[in-house]
Amino acid sequence: MKESSIVRIELYKLTIARREQFRISLGVMDSVENILVQIHTTDGLYGWGEGSPLPYICGETQAISLEAARTLAGFLIGKDPYAIEARLHDLDRFLVHNTTAKSAFDMALYDLLAKQAGLPLYALLGGEKRLFFTDETIGIDSPEVMARQALNTKKHGFLAIKVKLGTNRHDDFERIQAIRAAVGDDVLLRIDANQGWDLVTAEQTLRDLARFDIQYCEEPIAHWNQAGLRYLREKSPIPIMADESLFDHHDAFRLASLGACDYFNIKLSKSGGIHTALKINAVAESAGIQCMLGCMAETRLGLTAAAHLVSARPNIAFADLDSAFNKEGDPVVGGITYDGGWIHLPEVPGHGADILPEALKSWEWCTVTVPA
C-alpha cells in the first residue's frame, strides 16, 4: 500500500461580525477573528481545522496565529498525515506555545485520520454517540439586561446558563440575583469570573452567591495563583473549575496534585487540540476530576470537533459549546446541529463539518505546497 503524504495546506483568515458586543472581565469582543487550516493529501482526502485565538488568554491574535500556521505548515508538507503523534511532535519541537495555531492543525489531522478510517471522529477516538447539552453564555451587562437574556435563553430550551462575572462583589451579586429571579429554580446556573476577582473578593462573593444554587464557578482569581485557588476551593461553598490556569496535561497534573479545583475546563484552542485534550482528560479521570469541554469563539466547525470529543469521553460531563450563536451568518455546512441546548452529531466519516465555498472566497488565504 502506497504511503500517503501531505501535498498542500491552505490557510484562511476567518472573520465574522458579531450581532452584539460580548463582554467578559478580560475584555470586549466585537467580531470573530479565527484561522482555518485545510490539509490535502496525496490520496485525495482533506481535513479541516479551526483555531480561535484570544490574545488575553492564549497570547495569540488572528495575525499571530496565521503567521505561525504559515511557518508550521512547512514542517508538515510531504509527511505522513496519519502519524498524528509524530506530526504534532514536529510542531512542538519547532515552536513552543502558539496553542491556537497548533490546535487547527491537530483538528485537521484528526479529521483526515477519521475520514481515512471511514469513521465518525467520536468512533475513531474509541467512543460512542451520545446525546448531551450545552449551556448558553451571557456576557457582562446590567442586571436587568442579563436577566432578560437569561429568560430568553430558558425559553429557547436551554437547561443551563453560564453567566460572566468578575467585576465587583455588589454588582455581581445583583446580576445573579436578578437572573435567578427571572429564570426560576429549574435552570442550572454556572458562573465564570475570568480571573476578575482578587482572593478576598472571590471568597466573599462566592459565599454571597451560594444561596442561588450555582453549579460551579470558573477561574475566579488570577491564573497564576494556584495556591490561592486551592485555598478558595477549601473555603468556597460553590465548586471551583480551572480554566485559564489549565492549558495542558502538565497543568492538569499540577492542579490535581494541589487539590486546587473540583473540575477542569478543556478548550481545544487553549490545549493545542484533541491530542493534548485527551491527555488532560486522562489525568483528570485518574484524579477523580470531571471535565467540561469549553470554547473560545469557534464556528460550528471547531465546535463539531469538540462535540465529538465530548461524546467519546464520558468523563467530560459538561459542555460549553455555544460560540456558534451571536454571529452574523454561518459559513459551515454539515457539522453539529442544536435543538435548544441539545447537541446532535453528524454520522459521517471525520468530524463532519465543512466550509461553504462562497465563504472561502471572501476571506484572505494562502497556500503552502510541496517545493518544486
Beta strands 342-344; 132-133: pairing state: antiparallel
123-354: CATH topology is: TIM Barrel (3.20.20)
Q: Which position among 267, 320, 322, 354 bears the catalytic label?
A: 267
Q: Which position among 135, 203, 218, 219 bears the catalytic label?
A: 218
The CATH superfamily assigned to 6-119+357-369 is Enolase-like, N-terminal domain (3.30.390.10)
**Can 354 be counted among the known catalytic residues?**
no
Question: Residue 227 is placed in which grid cell?
Answer: 495556591
**Can 79 be counted among the known catalytic residues?**
no
| CA dihedral over 190, 193, 194, 199, signed as positive or negative | negative
Q: CA-CA distances (angstroms) from residue 33 to 30, 92, 222, 299, 365?
A: 10, 24, 25, 10, 13
Q: Which long-range contacts does 144-149 make (Cβ < 8 Å, 24+ apart)? A: 144/178, 146/175, 146/178, 146/179, 147/178, 147/179, 147/181, 147/182, 148/182
Domain chopping of the chain, boundaries = 6-119+357-369, 123-354
Exposure on the CB side of residue 65, measured as CA atoms within 13 A: 32
DSSP characters for 287-337? HT-EEEE--SS--HHHHHHHHHHHHH-TTEEEE---TTSSBS---EEES-E
**If you ran DSSP here, which 8-state letter would residue 120 be given?**
B
**Can 164 be counted among the known catalytic residues?**
yes
pTM of the model: 0.96
Q: How far is CA 21 from the centre of its chain?
A: 19
CB neighbours (10 Å) of residue 1? 3
Q: Describe the crossing of helices 84-94 and 274-287 by its angle, rounded to 10 degrees.
A: 100
Q: Which position among 50, 60, 192, 298 bears the catalytic label?
A: 192
Place of cell 510542531: 91
Question: Residue 106 is placed in which grid cell?
Answer: 491537530
User: What's the rounded Cα separation, in Å, for the pair 301 and 336?
Assistant: 8
pLDDT in 10s for each residue of the chain, 372 residues = 468 999 999 999 999 999 889 999 999 999 999 999 999 999 999 999 999 999 999 999 999 999 999 999 999 999 999 999 999 999 999 999 999 999 999 999 999 999 999 999 999 999 999 999 999 999 999 999 999 999 999 999 999 999 999 999 999 999 999 999 999 999 999 999 999 999 999 999 999 999 999 999 999 999 999 999 999 999 999 999 999 999 999 999 999 999 999 999 999 999 999 999 999 999 999 999 999 999 999 999 999 999 999 999 999 999 999 999 989 999 999 999 999 999 999 999 999 999 999 999 999 999 989 675
**Can 174 be counted among the known catalytic residues?**
no
**Can 102 be counted among the known catalytic residues?**
no
Q: Tell me whether the CATH fold assigned to 6-119+357-369 matches the one assigned to 123-354.
A: no
Max distance between CA atoms of the chain, in angstroms, equals 67
Q: CA-CA distances (angstroms) from residue 8 to 73, 75, 135?
A: 9, 12, 37
Q: Which position among 60, 164, 244, 251 bears the catalytic label?
A: 164
Place of cell 473578593: 201
Residue 141, strand partner residues = none
Looking at residue 1, its pLDDT comes to: 40
